Structure 1
Amino acid sequence: MNILVLGGTQFVGRHIVEACLRAGHAVSILTRGKTVDELPSAVERLRGDRDQGATGLASLAGRSWDACVDVSGYTPRQVRASAERLSGYVKRYVFISSVSVYVDDPARHPIVETDPVLPAATEDVTDVNGDTYGPLKVACETIVREIHGDRATVLLRPQIIAGPYDQANRYTYWLNRATLGGEMLAPGDGTDHVQVIDARDLSRFVVTVIENGHAGVFNLAGPRMTWASFMALIGAAQPVWVSADLIKAAGLTFVELPLFRPDGSARSSQMDMSTERARAAGLTLTAPEVTVRETRAWSLAAGLPVVLPPEREAELIRLSRVAAPLSKR
């Protein structure tokens, strides 16, 4: 099959390209040519910029593909340009969406594909930030369905994604911090939950969707585990549990302590995603210990920045020990 990937040089896109190649398909990518490209020479490089509308997609003229995988669509302006240009020229349009489209309800577990989503952003919104990201993805999903229809559209709603090439440094922070050894801040009390999916599992499923013509919406997530299990999995030798209340009082966010959403807090439902539909369609999952081992091997040489400064971590551990005796009075 001939597959067009919109994006394709970074993290998830790169894994999707590699999965398509391993499955024996021919791959073209459309990028602006502004990021490092380490893909195999067999990949056809096309240049374009969806922010320029139809004129930015001139390199697609006269071409058709069996499928398009849109991994870089963040705004309605971008997605409408590509969805309209490829209408009638691709047999399937696969749009990579996000768990952030769902209405936040910490009491609802697990999240399923029919759960309510946020109101869509208007098509003139182009600023992508924490407040607009989910509504923008909803708008993009709507455009893809509107133009390509249910027959030709597959929408994927992935969880937090982990694996080699991940420059976001959310999952990798914990792996590399555990590797340093010593006392390590462990968030909460160990009973909260974390859930990620290996990028390679997502990528294999994209190939499955294309090859088998699956349509509709799919949640993609890996095994759900407690933080106690996660800390053991990554080899944290001396975890020191710091309560969620203390973390909140210290002003730490999802940025300083990535992946940590205490059960019952805002967006904690995103750490409980049902993948029943995707598994029935062929989603298979890598063993968590393999994801840890292979992601760590890549990340140790990647030069990723420190997320939580060591002195801040040490201070929180100290404060947790002061607070512990007080809580027993």
Structure 2
Amino acid sequence: MKLLMLGGTEFVGRAITEDALERGWEVTVFHRGHHAPPPGTSALHGDRTLPGGLDSLAEGEWDLVVDTWGGAPTAVRDSAHLLAGRAGRYAYVSTRSVYAYPAPASPDAPLVEGSPDADSVAYAEDKRGAEIAAVDAFGERALLVRAGLILGPYENVGRLPWWLNRVARGGPLLAPGRPGLPLQYIDVRDLAHWTLDAARAGLGGAYDLISPLGHATMGSLLEACAAATGVPLEPRWTDQALIEEAGIQPWTELPVWIPEGEAHTHMFGGDATRALETGLKCRPVEETAADTWAWLNSLGGVAPQRSDRPAPGLSAEREAALLGL
């Protein structure tokens, strides 16, 4: 198989690239040159946001293109149309955020509006416009990978790295809500493996890439962080009303966590059946935490942070104030 990876140097793109290399595939990475791609790839350079940015893709044929773009849909539109006659399939890594709020996100739920010709509007609308662009160019040969919360090695958003570093610091820890609160996520390597399997099998259309209900909870995630770091967990489970009264923000100051209610159901109440029936396998949360901790240690404990995302996490001072320490 010949893979053209649009991106391929960070987080999801890197995991997909490495999985393809492990299969013995021939991988070409198209990127801006800001980060080194994995060894064993061929590199083409270009910036999809600039005039002439796709010039290095004017020639070449591939069995599969994988695209993780999250900006203006026009970049996916232009790439997909340029490659439609020279690539077998196009897998676009999208997001379950394309499902209209507040209905539980599922394959049959209504979608947000989006246009392939739009400049960047907002994350969900941009991703939906890019989905439309991929389907416009490739039709049934387009695979839409609607990922949920993505965790694992190479994470450049900072959610799991923050919890791992916080647990490693030790001491009483603000544990939000209740330990049995369900979580749904996808390990980046499980997403990568399923995506390449599905594309090679000729699958098309939209699939939700999330772990099944019951795969993990807020409690099991924190316990996995403690097991990975080797530091005893001292959770102080705190009612969500007290967290709200303190002005502490879910998801950003307390990464991964969303209080019980409408927003939690929308994010963590999805149906993974279609992906599971087509081969998705989700590794235990303990493995995700352990491997992410090992990767963090290889970087001196400091994970890379995307420039377009604020670093998540709660300050030690605000945590101590709520816990009365």
Q: TM-score, normalization: structure 1?
A: 0.88
SS at match of 2:44: strand
Which whole-Å CA distance do the structure 2 matches of 1:293 and 1:126 have between them?
Answer: 36
After superposition, the C-alpha distances for 1:288-307 in whole angstroms (9 at most, x for unaligned) are 21111111111232414772
What's 1:117 paired with? 111
After superposition, the C-alpha distances for 1:132-183 in whole angstroms (9 at most, x for unaligned) are 1001111111111112102x10000111111111121112211221122210
Paired letter, 2:139: G
What's 1:325 paired with? none
What's 1:89 paired with? 86
Paired letter, 2:149: I
Which whole-Å CA distance do the structure 2 matches of 1:27 and 1:166 have between them?
Answer: 22
Paired letter, 1:117: L
After superposition, the C-alpha distances for 1:230-261 in whole angstroms (9 at most, x for unaligned) are 32332262100122112222222221111111
Which whole-Å CA distance do the structure 1 matches of 2:281 and 2:220 have between them?
Answer: 21
Is 1:46 equivalent to 2:37 in the alignment?
no
| Identical positions, percent | 35
What's 1:233 paired with? 224
The 5 Å alignment of 1:1-329 reads 1-34=1-34, 36-40=35-39, 42-52=40-50, 55-105=52-102, 108=104, 111-120=105-114, 123-126=117-120, 132-150=122-140, 152-223=141-212, 224-235=215-226, 237-253=233-249, 254-266=251-263, 268-300=265-297, 301-304=300-303, 307-318=313-324
Check the 8 A contact 1:104/1:267 in 2, yes or no: no
Check the 8 A contact 2:174/2:237 in 1, yes or no: yes
Check the 8 A contact 1:75/1:136 in 2, yes or no: yes
After superposition, the C-alpha distances for 1:105-137 in whole angstroms (9 at most, x for unaligned) are 26x3xx32121111215733325xxxx100111
Q: Which has the larger radius of gyration?
A: 1
Structure 1 100/314 Cα, relative in aligned 2: closer, same or farther at 3 Å? same
Q: Which stretch shows the higher mean deviation, 24-33 or 182-191?
A: 182-191
Check the 8 A contact 2:255/2:312 in 1, yes or no: no
Paired letter, 2:120: T
Which whole-Å CA distance do the structure 2 matches of 1:302 and 1:122 have between them?
Answer: 39
Structure 1 308/73 Cα, relative in aligned 2: closer, same or farther at 3 Å? closer
Q: Which stretch shows the higher mean deviation, 158-167 or 171-180?
A: 171-180
Structure 1 213/164 Cα, relative in aligned 2: closer, same or farther at 3 Å? same
Q: TM-score, normalization: structure 2?
A: 0.89
Paired letter, 1:303: V
Aligned Cα RMSD in Å?
Answer: 1.9
Count residues with an aligned counterpart: 308
Which whole-Å CA distance do the structure 1 matches of 2:283 and 2:198 have between them?
Answer: 18
What's 1:323 paired with? none
Which whole-Å CA distance do the structure 1 matches of 2:245 and 2:286 have between them?
Answer: 33
Structure 1 205/306 Cα, relative in aligned 2: closer, same or farther at 3 Å? closer
Which whole-Å CA distance do the structure 2 matches of 1:192 and 1:272 have between them?
Answer: 11
Paired letter, 2:160: Y
Which whole-Å CA distance do the structure 2 matches of 1:189 and 1:211 have between them?
Answer: 41
Which whole-Å CA distance do the structure 1 matches of 2:200 and 2:225 have between them?
Answer: 35
Check the 8 A contact 1:101/1:135 in 2, yes or no: yes
User: How far off is 1:43 after superposition?
Assistant: 0.4
Paired letter, 2:219: A
Q: Which stretch shows the higher mean deviation, 114-123 or 209-218?
A: 114-123
Paired letter, 1:45: A
